[in-house]
Amino acid sequence: MEILMVLTSHSQLGQTAEKTGFWLEEFTAPYYVFKDAGASVVLASPKGGQPPLDPKSNLPDFQTESTRRFEQDTEAQAQLAHTQLLSEINASEFDAVFYPGGHGPLWDLTNDQNSIELIQAFDRTNKPIGLVCHAPAALKHVTKANGEAFVKDKQVTGFSNSEEDAVQLSHIVPFLIEDEFKAQGAHYIKGTDWQSFTVRDSHLITGQNPASSEAVAEQLLKLIQS
């Protein structure tokens, strides 16, 4: 069982002086779901090497069992420090792909041609695709075989407008995932803010927020195993 995890390489929060990147728990929780199931996990990012960590995600309030486990896991830390270049990844070598969130993907993975083509390759071969929180932004420019928006007529979720308002970044982000999906003709669904909520449409699984990361990973595993 070979699983690819794609992380952001973007570290700047819009035009602010603040930093962003990937959200720690959205990486660690799925990573250990996969590893504990015996999967081989490959990490990749647009620029390769160490992906930028959103510093807020490393604050005490956001520590979980999986983040504490990662702090003690030198092997996982070394793997994260040396992510492969996304441009060198071959989708045919993997059984599924998972995208952790954080605000970073809104800027780079959304527009990264390698990421777009990778998702399309997984879709065309009916392989499971999982994205959580802000990572569904990576679907913005993905298209179906007929050229239509990938999310059109699909049931999807992702970080909601109300959650973006709550973290006071609605005017900082380049677009709002909920609005973008609705504009593209998707059936955007959301649950209660900050509570685990996932949506599956065929081989696509999306999670609304950080609390959803483990659930998306578990559903992805079930899809692979079925």
166-191, pLDDT tens digit by residue?
999 999 999 999 999 999 999 999 99
Asked if 142 and 173 touch (Cβ cutoff 8 Å), the reply is: no
Q: Find the DSSP H helices in the chain.
A: 24-36, 65-71, 74-81, 113-124, 161-166, 177-183, 213-225
What pLDDT shows up at residue 130? 98
What pLDDT shows up at residue 59? 93
Percent of the chain with pLDDT over 90: 100
The residue assigned the tokens 């960590």 is 53
**Structural domain for 27, as ranges:** 2-225
CA dist 51 → 105, 106, 180, 195 (Å):
11, 15, 26, 26
What pLDDT shows up at residue 85? 98
CATH code for position 125: 3.40.50.880
- The rounded distance, in Å, linking the Cα atoms of 137 and 69 is 28
Residue 51: name the closest of 14, 24, 16 by CA: 24
What pLDDT shows up at residue 83? 98
For residue 162, name the pLDDT band (cuts at 50, 70, 90).
very high
Asked if 108 and 75 touch (Cβ cutoff 8 Å), the reply is: no
What pLDDT shows up at residue 55? 96
Read off the pLDDT of each residue in 78-94 and give the average, rounded to a whole number.
98
Read off the pLDDT of each residue in 133-142 and give the average, rounded to a whole number.
98
Asked if 54 and 21 touch (Cβ cutoff 8 Å), the reply is: yes
Query: Which tens digits make up the pLDDT trace of 3-60?
Result: 999 999 999 999 999 999 999 999 999 999 999 999 999 999 999 999 999 999 999 9
What pLDDT shows up at residue 177? 98
pTM above 0.85, yes or no: yes
The total number of structural domains in the chain stands at: 1
Residue 33: name the closest of 218, 223, 208, 226 by CA: 218
What pLDDT shows up at residue 108? 97
Q: What is the DSSP letter of 61?
A: G
Read off the pLDDT of each residue in 207-214 and give the average, rounded to a whole number.
97
